[in-house]
Amino acid sequence: MKAMIFDADGTLLDSMGLWRRIDQAFLNAHHYPYSTAISEQVEVMSLQQSAAYFQQLLAGRETLSIQQITQELDALCAGAYETQIQAMPFVPAFLAAAHREGYRMCVATASKKESIQKALHRLGLLHYFSFIMDADEAGAAKTNPAIFLDCARRLGSKPAETWVFEDAPHAAQTAANAGFLVVGVHAPGGEKHEALLRGCCRYFAASFAELIDREKRILLP
């Protein structure tokens, strides 16, 4: 069984800058000083974990439930996924090649799967994927291998025969530790963590263009 699991934000979709702007907009709305260190903290979390983190930051200033915070974050990002977010370069060509070669594919994301589904549908890419699983559905962030293991089970593949594509070192390391074949993909703004990403991946690619040849065939064993 040939299978592939893809991260969404920063891997399939050029959306990492959006999430930093959302963090900043949310905190600005609640009169809390924003720093890039905050975004670096929440980028390893699921949406529910991010909401809990923001709840702690705002404790003593105002009382918000995790549900309220989640709804605010959803509202800030929903329109962008529906109308603005674009695919990362060469992603459509790579997915088409993988589909032709018989790979079963899914998406494993820390974002809400409804948002990812809307973006992929608009971009004409949704049909390539058997399903989308988010961290809330898996019950854990990507510091835990549950989401990757659940995806592989649903795809009918074993970790050792399943490629995982990630731009975040923490998620790539988790997948590698669980026995998956990991491809690290560079994302805009990811230079700071590139050495860490390279260190835990089977392959590293500056873009998906490096993973297909001139005949549009997959360059993975």
Q: Is residue 218 part of a domain?
A: no
**What does each C-alpha distance from 220 to 74, 80, 102, 211, 212 come to in angstroms?**
36, 33, 13, 7, 8
Domain boundary among 83, 104, 130: 83
Helix axes of 16-29 and 47-58: crossing angle, nearest 10 degrees:
30
Q: Which whole number is the average pLDDT over 83-94?
A: 94
- Residue 123, judged by CB atoms within 10 A of its CB (0-12, 13-18, 19+), counts as middle
d(CA 47, CA 196): 24
What's this model's pTM, rounded to 2 decimal places?
Answer: 0.86
pLDDT at residue 181, as a whole number: 97
Looking at the fold, whether 34 and 113 belong to one and the same domain comes out as: no
pLDDT at residue 48, as a whole number: 81
Helix (H) or strand (E) holding 78: helix 66-83
Token digits for 190?
Answer: 């990811």
Print the domain residue range for 39: 16-83
Alpha-carbon dihedral angle through residues 145, 146, 148, 151, given to the nearest 10 degrees? 170
**How many residues would you count in the chain?**
221
Domain boundary among 33, 62, 83: 83
Looking at the fold, whether 146 and 196 belong to one and the same domain comes out as: yes
Looking at the fold, whether 63 and 101 belong to one and the same domain comes out as: no
Model confidence at 106: pLDDT above 80: yes
Looking at the fold, whether 200 and 119 belong to one and the same domain comes out as: yes
Looking at the fold, whether 77 and 101 belong to one and the same domain comes out as: no
Residues 68, 157: contact at Cβ < 8 Å? no
pLDDT at residue 117, as a whole number: 95
The mean of the pLDDT values for the chain is: 91
pLDDT at residue 124, as a whole number: 98
Q: What is the pLDDT of residues 194-220, one digit of tens each?
A: 888 999 999 999 999 999 998 889 989
Q: What is the pLDDT of residues 37-50, one digit of tens each?
A: 898 888 777 778 88
* Residues whose CB falls within 8 Å of the CB of residue 118, separated by 6 or more in sequence, listed in order: 78, 81, 82
